[in-house]
């Protein structure tokens, strides 16, 4: 736990982490409550899905331009503006609900705009972490961020449900307060988070294209970008099929809830152990091991389906994920030039999210057409092919432990000339 103790003495990382932990927990509550409020307003299950879809749309659409903006503007100011927007947007929902004046259109617009602010905040925060944390502490810092995300995922739904049962407006009041906490903590940052000085300012389109070009031309970034997209598709489809098989066989909602809790617990435990794993296992080997972990876990589900089996699969499947994610993100940040942090981070995140909306569609289609065992076999094949992406990459296999990363700095992408 030495790494965590060192970070606890890092003032800027601590205030950034505290503020974003509060904000993420509030947002997890709101995302849980969105469909409940939409259904209460409309009585339609189809319309109830609109706010969550709008949030994801706003997030994905703004990630790439957000990466350009992060490399052009003061990151502290940008994060404060997005946090202030969150206060106003969620407070507007609380006021409208209290007055009995909330409409579905209002709810969807707020979801869209808060998704858009999240798309701007994400690359700014990643760049800020790289600026306030030393290279040696970066894997631990990103592991701590992974723990924050899993805690929010574990607690957000139950807490949102309890607050919603008290009064529909309360979850949005709490979320507005969480963004206010983020705003205050961000104001306490001492590190200069202004953009790297540039001799000339290229057009937005040229910056956007150069970020994507750098990402695609760098062998490590390209490999992990493709792997991330297909991994998110495969794993989310696996979980969807596993849960739907239980639902269709009459498993109780409480048992499904326990499985969800196991997923969150696995993520938190994995995040706590991540710094120890990252510093002792070569980063390339860790990436490959993380890619393969789902394949053996899926095999029993071809023949059996039970809450115990699904819960164990999800728990152990997620357990190594925080270490794999944190190591990959830390290595990416370590070899990325400062003036490209926003664009490359946004491009990687955009690609990894791009195929996630297809996961429930793929899982539902396979289950409906072929049945549970055959759908599981198909997803096992997809997981296997996806795991081969980093496994067959010489660049990924060669990445050593973090202590040896400095000797690989020559691999970092060189700035490209502005597009004409």
**Could you tell me the fold of the domain covering 1-192?**
Growth Hormone; Chain: A; (1.20.1250)
Please tell me the pTM assigned to this model: 0.75
Question: pLDDT confidence of 413, banded at 50, 70, 90?
Answer: very low
For Cα atoms 22, 25, 27, give the angle at the middle one, nearest 5 degrees. 105
Nearest in space to 234 (alpha carbons), one of 390, 359, 348: 359
Residue 405 is encoded by which pair of tokens?
């990363």
Going by CATH, does the domain composed of 203-401 fall within 1.20.1250.20?
yes
pLDDT tens digits, 43-56 = 876 677 788 878 88
List helix spans (H) across 371-411: 372-391, 394-397
Question: pLDDT at position 77, please?
Answer: 92
pLDDT tens digits, 298-309 = 998 888 888 888
For Cα atoms 44, 45, 48, give the angle at the middle one, nearest 5 degrees. 85
Domain span(s) for CATH 1.20.1250.20 in the chain = 1-192, 203-401
Residue 257 is encoded by which pair of tokens?
């809830």
Nearest-angstrom CA–CA distance, 272 and 283: 17
Nearest in space to 37 (alpha carbons), one of 224, 139, 211, 175: 175
Question: pLDDT confidence of 187, banded at 50, 70, 90?
Answer: very high
Question: pLDDT confidence of 416, banded at 50, 70, 90?
Answer: very low
Nearest-angstrom CA–CA distance, 383 and 233: 9
Mean pLDDT is lowest, of 106-110, 212-216, 415-419, for 415-419
């Amino acid at each position: 736990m030495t790494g965590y103790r060192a970070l606890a003495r890092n003032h800027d990382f601590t205030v950034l982490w505290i503020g974003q932990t509060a904000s993420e927990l509030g947002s997890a509550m709101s995302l849980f409550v969105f469909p409940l409020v939409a259904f209460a307003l409309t009585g339609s299950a189809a319309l109830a899905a609109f706010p969550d879809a709008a949030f994801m749309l706003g997030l994905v659409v703004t990630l790439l331009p957000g990466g350009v903006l992060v490399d052009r503007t003061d990151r502290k100011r940008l994060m404060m503006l997005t946090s202030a927007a969150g206060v106003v947007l969620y407070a507007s929902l609380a006021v409208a609900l209290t007055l009995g004046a909330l409409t579905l259109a209002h709810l969807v617009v707020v979801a869209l705009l808060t998704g858009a602010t999240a798309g701007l905040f994400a690359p700014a925060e990643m760049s800020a972490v790289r600026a306030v944390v030393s290279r040696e502490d970066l894997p631990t810092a990103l592991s701590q961020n992974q723990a924050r995300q899993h805690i929010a995922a574990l607690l957000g739904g139950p807490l949102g449900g309890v607050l919603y049962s008290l009064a529909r407006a309360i979850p949005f009041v709490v979320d507005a307060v969480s963004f206010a906490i983020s705003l205050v903590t961000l104001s306490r940052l001492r590190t200069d988070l202004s953009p790297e000085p540039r001799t000339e300012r290229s057009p937005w389109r040229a910056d956007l294209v150069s970020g994507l070009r750098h990402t695609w031309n760098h062998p490590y970034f390209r490999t992990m970008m493709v792997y991330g997209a297909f991994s998110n598709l495969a794993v989310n489809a696996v979980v969807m099929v596993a849960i739907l098989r239980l639902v269709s066989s009459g498993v109780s909602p409480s048992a499904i809830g326990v499985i969800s809790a196991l997923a969150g617990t696995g993520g938190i435990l994995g995040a706590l152990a991540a710094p120890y794993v990252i510093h002792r296992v070569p980063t390339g080997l860790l990436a490959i091991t993380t890619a393969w972990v789902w394949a053996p876990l899926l095999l029993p589900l071809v023949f059996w389906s039970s809450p115990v089996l699904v819960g164990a699969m999800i728990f152990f499947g997620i357990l190594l994920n925080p270490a794999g994610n944190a190591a990959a993100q830390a290595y990416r940040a370590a070899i990325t030039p400062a003036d490209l942090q926003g664009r490359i981070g946004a491009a990687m995140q955009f690609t990894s999210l791009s195929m996630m909306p297809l996961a429930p569609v793929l899982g539902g289609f396979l289950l409906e057409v072929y049945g549970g065992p055959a759908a599981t076999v198909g997803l096992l094949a997809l997981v296997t092919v996806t795991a081969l992406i980093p496994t067959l990459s010489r660049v990924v296999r060669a990445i050593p432990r973090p202590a040896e990363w400095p000797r690989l700095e020559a691999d970092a992408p060189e700035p490209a000339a502005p597009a004409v």
